[in-house]
Amino acid sequence: MKVTNLDIETICNSINRLNIIIVRNPTPSVVSKAIDDRSRLYGLKKRLVDEFTKREFPCSNKVT
């Protein structure tokens, strides 16, 4: 999988939109779903950032 900065930026934008929904929406079921989705996106973002870092900075994982 080739991860780009745009992929990571898109996920961050989605997380930000979900944060707005969580803060502004009074409906508990909507907030609960947004929190679940946000949690999944945080996990995906972490995996993508890890993959991007390994590919772009391969020496950063080595101990000198």
Q: What residue spans of the chain are helical by DSSP H? A: 5-24, 28-56
Q: Mind listing the pLDDT tens digit for each residue in 4-63?
A: 999 999 999 999 999 999 999 999 999 999 999 999 999 999 999 999 898 888 886 555
Hey, what amino acid is at 32? S
Band (1; pLDDT cuts 50, 70, 90) = low
Decide if 16 contacts 25 (C-beta within 8 A): no
For residues 64 and 24, the model is more confident at 24
Q: Where are the domains of the chain?
A: 5-56
Decide if 1 contacts 51 (C-beta within 8 A): yes
| DSSP reduced 3-state for 3 | coil
Decide if 3 contacts 44 (C-beta within 8 A): no
pTM exceeds 0.75, yes or no: yes
**Site of tokens 């961050």:** 12
